[in-house]
Amino acid sequence: MFGISKFGFDFGSSSSLISAPHKGVLVNDPSVVALSMDTKTIIAVGNDAKDMLGKTPEGVISKNPIKFGAISNYKIVESMIRYFLSKAGYKSLFFNSEAVVGISDGLTSVEKRAMYEAVMGAGIKKIYLVPNVLLTAIGCNLPIGTSSGNMVINIGGGTAELAVISFNGIVVSDSIRVGGDSINEAICIYLKKNYGIIIGDQMAENIKIEVGSALPLISPIEMEIRGRDAVNGMPKSMIIDTNVVVSAIKGPLNLIIQSTRHLLERTPPELASDIIDRGILLSGGTSLLRNIDTLITRAIGITAYISDDPVTSVVNGASEALKYIDILYKNVRNP
């Protein structure tokens, strides 16, 4: 594809998204790769690889190469990015291609460098690494260029990232390794301990989406789950409801609430006053969990609200940020 190619990238623990200015979201696929252990070659990427999780034959492994916002093998991620760009119609890139890449604010310099090299290896020539929370605010049209304080909590698959933003920069921030994956794990552990059933990650994900909630429901939603009996190893099915899941996921949600409190304690009083007026913006795929906004509102005493499109806020903000990257880049630096 000829001409200048510009992109917004959001490579998370659960999903990878690519956007382009004036074109919207081009790719939204799971961050999963299936590999042959013998040849070390990639067999499948995205949805095809996710379908293989927990079902692969001997010699094949299906895994997420991005955990907690950091990549474990930049060569695998490089190949994954190439696949997604090809899927979007960009099989080759012009010499002046550029991209804004959303990253966790809690990454080390080594982890940032790995992400930078993976994107560069995929063919992007000019790369800007910008914190996810800043891109979330841009994608949600918050007035971050003013003196007003804006608070964002972006809850993804691997991390929950919190920040107070003003004058196009992050005033205070925090990043904790709690997100959708932690909630799935908590569901697995709770069901094994209390109901003697062992389930896989995909079943836990389905439970979270279909019947999960941050608070109990007056009329709980029921769901049949299937797994393996923890005692005899035989297949087992049972019915659970929303309130079982509420009990299971209290731990991860409490960690997010604690981090929110700690961040507000570090926020300058003038900006804290703005946050009381404006509320707390929730974004990221895990913010779609039922009643998570109500839980945070009750626990913190400040209104929390979910963005209009929480899954794509970061990647939309990334492509939008290309318009005024010089202003933003005064506050961020590449490794």
Q: Quick count: other Cβ atoms within 10 Å of Cβ 57?
A: 6
Distance CA 63, CA 9 (A): 20
pLDDT tens, 60-78? Answer: 888 889 988 899 888 889 9
pLDDT band at residue 50 under the 50/70/90 scheme: confident
Which distant-in-sequence residues (6+ apart) come within 8 Å of 281 by Cβ? 136, 137, 140, 142, 150, 151, 152, 153, 304, 305, 307
Average pLDDT for 9-36: 92
Pairing state of beta strands 70-71 and 66-67? antiparallel
* Amino acid (1-letter code) at residue 168: N
| Residues 105, 111, 115: CA angle, nearest 5 degrees | 90
Indicate the class that CATH gives domain 140-178+250-310: alpha beta
Share of the chain above pLDDT 70, in %: 96
Average the pLDDT over 158-185 and give the result: 95
Tens of pLDDT, residue by residue over 104-134, are: 988 999 999 999 999 999 889 899 999 999 9
Question: Are the C-beta atoms of 28 and 311 separated by less than 8 Å?
Answer: yes
Question: What CATH topology corresponds to 6-134+315-328?
Answer: Nucleotidyltransferase; domain 5 (3.30.420)
pLDDT at 82 over 50: yes
Tell me the pLDDT of the chain averaged across its residues. 91
Whether the predicted pLDDT of 196 surpasses 80:
yes
Tell me the pLDDT tens digit for each residue of 292-331: 999 999 999 999 999 999 999 999 999 999 888 877 766 5
Residue 89 has pLDDT above 60, yes or no: yes
Question: Residue 162 forms beta bridges with which residues?
Answer: 153, 174
Q: Which fold has domain 180-248?
A: Actin; Chain A, domain 4 (3.90.640)
Hunting for tokens 């293989």 — which residue is that?
Answer: 52
Same fold, 140-178+250-310 and 180-248: no
Q: What is the per-residue pLDDT across 252-283, written as a single tens digit (0 to 9) for each?
A: 999 999 999 999 999 999 999 999 999 999 99
Whether residue 200 is predicted with pLDDT greater than 80 in this model: the reply is yes
Please report, for the chain, the start and end positions of each structural domain, with discontinuous segments joined by +: 6-134+315-328, 140-178+250-310, 180-248
Element housing 54 (H / E):
none
Q: How far apart are CA 60 and CA 168, in angstroms?
A: 45
Non-local (6+) Cβ contacts of 75 within 8 A are 118, 121
Q: Output the pLDDT for position 8.
A: 95
